[in-house]
Amino acid sequence: MFVSRGLVVGFTVAMAGLVLSGCGTRMNKAPVEDRGTSSSSSAPAPAAQPGVVVGTPIKPLPGAENAGKPGYYTVKPGDTLIRIGLESGQSWKDIARWNNLENANLIEVGQVLRVLPPSAAPAVVASESGVVTRPVTSSSVAPASTPAAAPASAASGAKPAASAASGTVVAVAPATPAPAAAPAGEDELAFIWPASGSLIAGFDEARNKGFDIAGKAGDPVLAAADGRVVYAGAGLRGYGNLVILKHNNTFLTAYAHNQTLLVKEDQAVRKGQKIAEMGNTDADRVKLHFEIRRQGKPVDPTRYLPSR
């Protein structure tokens, strides 16, 4: 049988085309879904941090709503309730009670604590800013000329102004700076020296917040004025065995580095009463470190102690 060369070539070319066509169909790629641009897709969830549940709101610290308000204190690193009491001129037990603290050792940085009695209204800005608050009771407001009004005025630089209701006084802008010396008869206190030894270090607001008085181990340490013991113990770093007396709404005194404490918290003491024996706890030598604090702020004892 005779088949022309052209027919064979044409048939071969046609078959090759069919084969190539079939192969091309089998090599096509499968369709790809672009999930990144799909309208039903969502952004990836943020990576969870250790100890944090994503999406759970952080619980605010106790008292946070009072931050910055007069009469409140925001806890800072290193604070203890004893130190806060010393810095605010209050008993640590009172602060614990005013804030309903079941455990006085459990306070948190950033927590806001009341440092004035709930029944008192602060006359000036809170003490943590360097300005000291003073409670004013609702039953009476002291006139400008009375000694009771002087501490608030001297601490804040404010002077009294008339009240619209009764003509008694509250506080407004300062007219003159605070006096350099303690006003005569301020809160009717007359301090005495707490020890008879020589003065070995004077007051320096940055480095020494009181007087250091020399002595021998066991020498008597005396209450500088009538008062009540608001702290007796060794819980404040740098002070050793410490006694803190509260004399009134204005003044505290502190007696540090004792070898023996002779009084207990909440005990009433009289001026000149022996409250401790001198020692060197948390100190480089036997001495008494003595502080006078006016509304929590350390002041130069020279302004209040008699010369000798």
DSSP secondary structure of 80-106: -HHHHHHHHTS-HHHHHHHTT-S-TT-
First-to-last CA distance in the chain?
148
Which residue type sits at 252? L
b/e code 242-275 from CB counts within 10 Å (16+ = b): bbbbbbbbbbbbbbbbbbebbbeeebebeeebeb
Q: Is 290 in the same domain as 197? A: yes
Residue of 74, 155, 156 lying closest to 114 (CA atoms): 74
Assigned domain for 206 exists: yes
Q: Is the pLDDT of residue 147 over 80?
A: no
Tokens of 202: 């004077």
Q: Is 67 in the same domain as 132? A: yes
Domain boundary among 121, 137, 153: 137
Assigned domain for 128 exists: yes
Assigned domain for 237 exists: yes
CATH number of the domain that 103 lies in? 3.10.350.10
Q: Is the pLDDT of residue 191 over 50?
A: yes
Comparing 62-66, 260-264, 282-286, 298-302, the range with the smallest average pLDDT is 62-66
Q: Where are the alpha helices (DSSP H) in the chain?
A: 5-26, 81-88, 92-98, 150-156
pLDDT band of 102, cuts 50, 70, 90: confident
Q: Is the pLDDT of residue 236 over 80?
A: yes
pLDDT band of 5, cuts 50, 70, 90: low
- Look at residue 14 in the predicted model and tell me its pLDDT: 52
Helix or strand run (H / E) with residue 114: strand 112-114
Assigned domain for 45 exists: no
Q: Is the pLDDT of residue 212 over 50?
A: yes
More confident position, 158 or 54: 54
Residue of 209, 155, 145 lying closest to 179 (CA atoms): 155
In angstroms, the CA 265 to CA 255 distance is 14
In angstroms, the CA 50 to CA 181 distance is 56
Contact (CB, 8 A) for 69 and 124: no
In angstroms, the CA 262 to CA 276 distance is 5
Write the pLDDT tens digit of every residue in 42-100: 555 555 555 445 555 667 788 888 888 888 999 999 899 999 999 888 999 999 999 99
Comparing 55-64, 207-216, 230-239, 277-286, the range with the smallest average pLDDT is 55-64
Q: Is 211 in the same domain as 131? A: no
In angstroms, the CA 111 to CA 101 distance is 12
Task: Collect all residues with Cβ–Cβ distance below 8 Å to 10 and sequence separation of at least 6.
Answer: none
More confident position, 127 or 69: 69
Tokens of 247: 């004399």
Residue indicated by tokens 């009476």:
140
Quick one: average pLDDT of 172-190?
49
Q: Is 196 in the same domain as 112? A: no
Q: Is the pLDDT of residue 276 over 60?
A: yes
As a whole-number percent, the residues of the chain with pLDDT over 70 amount to: 59
- Look at residue 280 in the predicted model and tell me its pLDDT: 97
Assigned domain for 169 exists: no
Contact (CB, 8 A) for 172 and 160: yes
184 by Cβ neighbours in 10 Å (0-12 / 13-18 / 19+) ranks as exposed
- Look at residue 84 in the predicted model and tell me its pLDDT: 92
Task: Collect all residues with Cβ–Cβ distance below 8 Å to 71 and sequence separation of at least 6.
Answer: 114, 115, 116, 120, 121, 122, 126, 133, 135
- Look at residue 166 in the predicted model and tell me its pLDDT: 39
Q: Is 222 in the same domain as 133? A: no
- Look at residue 11 in the predicted model and tell me its pLDDT: 53
> Considering the chain, what is the average pLDDT of its residues?
73
Comparing 32-46, 145-159, 177-191, 263-277, the range with the smallest average pLDDT is 145-159
Assigned domain for 16 exists: no
- Look at residue 122 in the predicted model and tell me its pLDDT: 52
Q: Is the pLDDT of residue 225 over 80?
A: yes
Q: Is 196 in the same domain as 297? A: yes
- Look at residue 304 in the predicted model and tell me its pLDDT: 95
CATH number of the domain that 219 lies in? 2.70.70.10
Give, as one character, the DSSP assignment of residue 118. Answer: T
In angstroms, the CA 269 to CA 62 distance is 35
Q: Is the pLDDT of residue 17 over 70?
A: no
Quick one: average pLDDT of 4-22?
50
How many domains is the chain built from? 2
Residue of 242, 245, 248 lying closest to 289 (CA atoms): 242
Tokens of 186: 């301020």
- Look at residue 66 in the predicted model and tell me its pLDDT: 86
Comparing 53-62, 105-114, 144-153, 194-203, the range with the smallest average pLDDT is 144-153
pLDDT band of 132, cuts 50, 70, 90: very low
Q: Is 116 in the same domain as 194? A: no
Assigned domain for 156 exists: no
Task: Collect all residues with Cβ–Cβ distance below 8 Å to 173 and sequence separation of at least 6.
Answer: 158, 159
Q: Is 202 in the same domain as 297? A: yes
Assigned domain for 131 exists: yes
pLDDT band of 203, cuts 50, 70, 90: very high
- Please give the residue range of the domain that contains residue 112: 62-137
